[in-house]
């Protein structure tokens, strides 16, 4: 083993065993100076993210959730500490692969020094919403002889069935782990609650699709609300959208009593009935790899991609910018020497550029400034969607960032039953630490090569693919720091990935059974 190469596996049942303390002592002395130099070069502020908060500085408030790793990893306190070692950067995979639905692949690695802990979080599980029996329909009829109406109870054939779904969530935290941990513990409960509120529609509409014609007359006679010409897909999308909004609202409310640091992006996958729903608020990404084809299922929200939305908010409420910023975007940073000159600009209504004569107001700092990953909103934050950041202000001002940040997700839908998926067709979900280094096609190639090397019935194949993805993005430690192929820089960010088989939901839906599902009743 090269003195700068690290083991790819940290925790993997049945793959390998070794002493973690010996491993750390063996490598720490060799590379500590190299990593320190690399960290100082990449993060001049000592590794602390811009706007970061010390998790111990709780201003007298109790932490809402302590720092942890995903529960399905089953790490001890000692292992959690080792996992956050930014020198070794061990790759974690579940000790027991059956803890994840369908033996889904999962792997994660901590960053190279920009934060003290891994600020990525994840959650996953099978869930079953228990539906109560449908109530009988009461009809009122007038008798032939007599004015008084007669109430008659008409028994309705019980068509209710439980709503089964599978959930995966990724939460990429910034400026602390607090919001990401809370979202990983809470968001799926809110989603289940929203689906539970429309259970009658979901269940009966599904049965209608399977057993009846599409005529509205064939639907059950009693509905809790008007659902004329409403599709199951649109109702589920609405439930996901409302769940994201309520999650962010709950964080804002609980921040009044608890210390919940920072914010987080959110990427969620829900397998429900015959569809896969991908809800994205942030710059994590999901792609489908199917028979050599790559289908992007989410799109990165960044200050650049959301420029027009942000500018529109500032145009409607210019007071949000204070006296320091302008909503306009310019071809270059405007300086005092440009006063009176004609420069290219654009606003929220423009996709192209036009000329403008520069005045004093144009000397203000742009609302969105920077290129690529360095683009920032109000010179402060590089994300535009997600949860949290309720108290975040522009440094040295009273300008709040939150009005420009949105928890609203974009929801994409994939019809799982349009194709007969093989064991090699997968959904890849990853935080931006993966996509900063790998393209969609490169990630798909890594996964396909691993899956092709395993038998179709080997339950370890998806975990190995996830592990290799993280390895490909992190790279190995060389004299110049973390490097991938061709000596290019590897990712210095937290990296978390899922590799989820698409065929398993198909098979389970056809069998109409879930193993080890958690039942959720209306009383929860």
Full DSSP string of 368-390? EE-SGGG-EETTTBS--BSEE-T
pLDDT at res. 155: 46
Q: Is the pLDDT of residue 27 over 90?
A: no
User: Is pLDDT above 80 for 210?
Assistant: no
Only one residue has tokens 């609202």, namely: 249
Q: How far is CA 241 from the centre of its chain?
A: 13
Instruction: Summarize pLDDT for 469-482 with one digit per residue, the tens.
Output: 999 999 999 988 99
Query: Percent of the chain at pLDDT above 90?
Result: 67
Give CA separation, 306 vs 226, 390, 429, 510, in Å: 35, 19, 22, 41
Does the pTM surpass 0.95? The reply is no
- DSSP conformational letter for 483: E
- For residues 306 and 384, give the distance between their C-alpha atoms in angstroms, rounded to a whole number: 7
31: pLDDT confidence band, cut at 50, 70 and 90? very low
Given a cut of 90, whether residue 212 has pLDDT beyond it is: no
Domain residue limits, the chain: 20-132+157-301+406-520, 307-382
Residue 333 contacts by C-beta under 8 Å, 6 or more apart in sequence? 366, 369
* Arithmetic mean of pLDDT over the chain: 82
Nearest C-alpha neighbor of 500 from the set 409, 414, 408: 414
Question: Would you say residue 295 has pLDDT above 70?
Answer: yes
Residue pair 219/208 in contact (Cβ under 8 Å)? The answer is yes
pLDDT at 138: 52
Q: What is the pLDDT of residues 450-466, one digit of tens each?
A: 999 999 999 999 999 99
pLDDT exceeds 60 at position 52: no
**CATH fold label, 20-132+157-301+406-520:** Phosphatase 2c; domain 1 (3.60.40)
- Of 248, 241, 250, residue with least CA distance to 277: 241
- CB distance 129 to 523 below 8 Å: no
pLDDT above 70 (res 137): no
């Amino acid at each position: 083993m090269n003195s700068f190469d690290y083991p790819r596996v940290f925790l993997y049942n049945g793959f390998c065993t070794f002493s973690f303390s010996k491993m750390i002592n063996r490598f720490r002395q060799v590379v500590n100076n190299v990593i320190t130099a690399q960290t100082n070069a990449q993060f001049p502020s000592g590794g602390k993210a811009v706007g970061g908060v010390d998790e111990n500085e709780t201003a007298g408030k109790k932490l809402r959730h302590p720092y942890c790793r995903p529960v399905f990893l089953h790490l001890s306190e000692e292992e959690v500490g080792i996992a956050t070692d930014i020198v070794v950067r061990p790759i974690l995979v579940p000790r027991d692969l059956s803890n994840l639905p369908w033996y889904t692949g999962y792997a994660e690695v901590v960053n190279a020094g920009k934060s003290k802990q891994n600020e990525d979080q994840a959650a996953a599980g099978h869930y079953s919403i228990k539906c109560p029996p449908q109530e009988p329909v009461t009809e009122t009829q007038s008798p032939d002889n007599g004015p008084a109406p007669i109430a008659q109870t008409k028994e309705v054939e019980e068509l209710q069935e439980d709503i089964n779904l599978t959930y995966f969530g990724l939460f990429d935290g910034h400026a602390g782990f607090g919001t990401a941990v809370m979202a990983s513990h809470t968001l799926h409960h809110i989603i289940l609650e929203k689906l539970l509120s429309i259970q009658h529609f979901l269940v009966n509409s599904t049965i209608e699709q399977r057993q009846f014609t599409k005529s509205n007359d064939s639907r059950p006679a009693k509905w809790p609300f008007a659902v004329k010409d409403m599709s199951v897909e649109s109702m589920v999308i609405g439930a996901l959208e409302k769940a994201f909004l309520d999650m962010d609202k709950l964080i804002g409310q609980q921040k009044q009593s608890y210390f919940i640091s920072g914010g987080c992006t959110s990427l969620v996958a829900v397998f429900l009935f015959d569809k896969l729903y991908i809800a994205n608020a942030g710059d994590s990404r999901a792609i489908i790899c199917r028979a050599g084809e790559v289908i992007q299922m989410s799109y990165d929200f960044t200050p650049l991609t959301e420029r027009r939305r942000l500018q529109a908010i500032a145009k409607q409420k210019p007071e949000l910018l204070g006296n320091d910023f302008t909503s306009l975007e310019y071809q270059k940073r405007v300086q005092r020497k440009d006063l009176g000159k004609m420069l290219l600009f654009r606003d929220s209504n423009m996709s192209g550029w036009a000329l403008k004569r520069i005045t004093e107001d144009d000397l203000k700092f742009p609302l969105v400034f920077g290129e690529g990953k360095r683009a920032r909103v109000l010179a402060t934050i590089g994300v535009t969607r997600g949860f949290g950041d309720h108290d975040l202000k522009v440094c040295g001002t009273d300008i709040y960032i939150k009005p420009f940040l949105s928890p609203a997700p974009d929801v994409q839908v994939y019809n799982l039953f349009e194709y007969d998926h093989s064991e090699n067709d997968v959904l890849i979900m990853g935080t931006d630490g993966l996509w900063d280094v790998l393209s969609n096609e490169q990630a798909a190639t890594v996964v396909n090569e691993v899956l092709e090397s395993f038998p179709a019935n080997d339950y370890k194949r998806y975990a190995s693919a996830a592990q290799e993805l993280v390895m490909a993005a992190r790279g190995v430690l060389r004299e110049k720091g973390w490097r991938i192929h061709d000596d290019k820089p590897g990712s210095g960010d937290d990296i978390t990935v899922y590799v989820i088989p698409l065929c398993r939901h198909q098979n389970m839906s056809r069998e109409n059974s879930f193993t080890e599902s958690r039942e959720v009743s209306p009383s929860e």
